Structure 1
Amino acid sequence: MAGVTATARIVARRDGRGGTALPVLAGEGPLALRRTRGDADCARVTLVGAMSGPLGGDRFTVRAEVAEGARLRVGSAAATLALPGQGTRDARYRVMLDVAAGAELRWLPEQLISAAGSELYVTTVAEVSPAGRLVLREEQVLGRAGEQPGRLVSRLTVRVGGRCVLDQELDCGPGAPPGWDGPAGLGGYRAVGQLIVVRPEFASAPVPARVLGDTAAVLPLAGPAVLVGAVAPDALRLRTVLDQALADLG
């Protein structure tokens, strides 16, 4: 089976009345986009999975552009479930984000669950202006309850003003390099996540590094950005840690 190829695109711009308009809100196939109730000056979009997936062989791309002065929050209606397809091909999921000066993007999807037998490669690239703001959360759950995980390779790249402040890759599950689940890797935990916060004020007032309990840490990056990395036994406890870290950052 060849799999499904689908693209979704969001463009947010100021509407001239103090709010944010969405001149482009287009999805296809399994990538359906819905505008939902937002704040007075912030548009809100929900990604609704119109079918199961990604399955083996699928190729999905989501692009979001937030123009100068606009504010956008993007979430998803449910967790993304990576499943094996009928063939032997892997699935690919790309997320491309662009945040202009004075703009703000809050990218807060639900968890990605790597089901047994699946093979998914996720690539997320965020380009942020030095005067832009970004909150980006990624959460991966390795396997459904009582099952082993599939293969999951997730790469996250964040550039601020064209300068790379983060480029990291998570590779886990069957076929991953040895040690991914050992003490120097996930340490036996099955939920892993990261929170990236980019704010112009961090350039002059960097966030200090600190640990959060036993399985999470706040790490300042080489730019106006901070990374929170965490592992947890399950998705609920992972979300609790990341939500608390975001609240602490103000």
Structure 2
Amino acid sequence: MSLRATARVVAAADGTLPVLESDGPFALRRTRSTDTYTRVTVVGAMSAPLGGDDLTLEARARDGARLAVDAAAATVALPGRTPAPAHYRVRLDVGADAVLRWLPEPLVSARGSDLRAHTTVELADSARLVLREEQILGRHGEEPGTLVTRLTVHRSGRPLFDQELAYGPGAPGGWDGPAVLAGRRAVGQLLVVDPEFADKPVAAGPLAETAVVTPLAGPAALVSALAEDALSLRRVLDAALDRLAPV
């Protein structure tokens, strides 16, 4: 039987969490923070997503709030009893003068799985966002499942960024070719939206052999990276995070 679940977190400017609702595989826990952010950690309560599951994770930083969300472990997409794809939706809302640091662990696409993951973000004009996404295509020694990911960001109601990526046997041909992944199995991106970039835009250029930073209108910057494995990918994105969005 497929699973439907929605978990929610809302952070206020005074550091409280008016809403902290766990559901299904999402166990939300307030965890200790060493900085000025209210920190929430997503703990996996069961194996998910499986084929046919429909999961939603929502986070809202109200005006003036500083919210950091991370995870205790990677999310592993697995095949289920039904051939239907699983859906994993993340919905983020960041209010005026608020900051959201969305830094989950990687999403692993296991062989035989079929997952559609869509992250949507709504930003106020003065909001700041740090968002990291990492996809690991297959566990050690195995081919990946089918994975389609989309990231859609609006700022002040206007489109800022909209990108869809597809990998695995259900993706269009060429996804693993020399012009795309070139055989690599770890892919990630770091999106930073900061009003200060309007006056001091980030310069475009390489960050590593297979990583590049691209300034976006908005103001924002996108880091796109490839790597041989999850550890190498995280090192590249951590270096980019320290450069573009230090705590």
SS at match of 2:139: coil
State the shift of 1:158 in Å. Answer: 1.3
Partners of 2:37 and 2:16 lie apart in 1 by 9
Q: CA deviation at 1:127?
A: 1.0
Paired AA for residue 89 in structure 2:
R
1:41 offset after TM fit, Å?
Answer: 3.4
Cα deviation code 1:59-102 (max 9, x no counterpart):
10011110111101001110000000011111000000000111
> Is 1:221 aligned to residue 207 of structure 2?
no
Deviation at 1:51, TM superposition (A): 0.5
102-111 or 207-216: bigger deviation: 207-216
Shift >2 Å, 4+ stretches: none
Contact 1:116 1:150 in 2 (8 A): yes
The reply to whether residue 13 of structure 1 matches residue 8 of structure 2 is no
Q: Structure 1: where are the runs of 5+ without partners?
A: none
Contact 1:46–1:75 under 8 Å retained in 2:
yes
SS of the aligned residue for 1:246 comes to helix
Identity %: 62
Matched, 1:193 2:192: no
Residue 107 of structure 1, aligned match among 102, 111, 117: 102
Match of 1:44 in 2: 39
**1:28 maps onto 2:23 in alignment:** yes
The CA deviation string for residues 139-176 of structure 1, in whole angstroms up to 9 with x for no partner, is 00000000000000000011111221210011000121
When the two chains are superposed, the root-mean-square deviation of aligned CA atoms in Å is 1.0
Which secondary structure state, in structure 2, belongs to the residue aligned with residue 244 of structure 1?
A: helix
Provide the rounded CA distance (Å) in 2 between the counterparts of 1:4 and 1:134: 30
Q: CA deviation at 1:40?
A: 5.8
Rounded Cα–Cα distance in structure 2 between residues aligned with 1:165 and 1:211: 22
Aligned to 1:170: 165
Amino acid at match of 2:20: L
Where 1:186 maps in the other structure, the secondary structure is coil
- In structure 2, give the amino acid aligned to 1:28: D
Q: Does 1:234 align with 2:229?
A: yes
In structure 2, how many angstroms separate the alpha carbons of the residues matched to 1:124 and 1:189? Answer: 23
Work out whether 1:140 is the aligned partner of 2:139.
Answer: no
Q: Partner of 1:65 in structure 2? A: 60
- Could you tell me how far apart the structure 2 residues matched to 1:188 and 1:8 are? 35
Aligned residues: 245
The equivalences for 1:198-213 within 5 A come to: 198-213=193-208
TM value normalised by structure 2: 0.97
Deviations 1:33-70 (A, max 9, x none): 00000246321001111001100011100111101111
Which residue of structure 2 lines up, in the alignment, with residue 244 of structure 1? Answer: 239
For residues 24 and 246 of structure 1, what CA distance do their matches in structure 2 show? 28
- Which of 174, 179, 185 is equivalent to 1:179? 174
| Letter of the 1:225 counterpart | A
1:22 counterpart SS class = coil
Where structure 2 has 5 or more consecutive residues not aligned to the other structure, the ranges are none
1:12 and 1:70 in contact (8 A); partners too: yes
Deviations 1:110-157 (A, max 9, x none): 000000000000000111112111100000000000000000000001
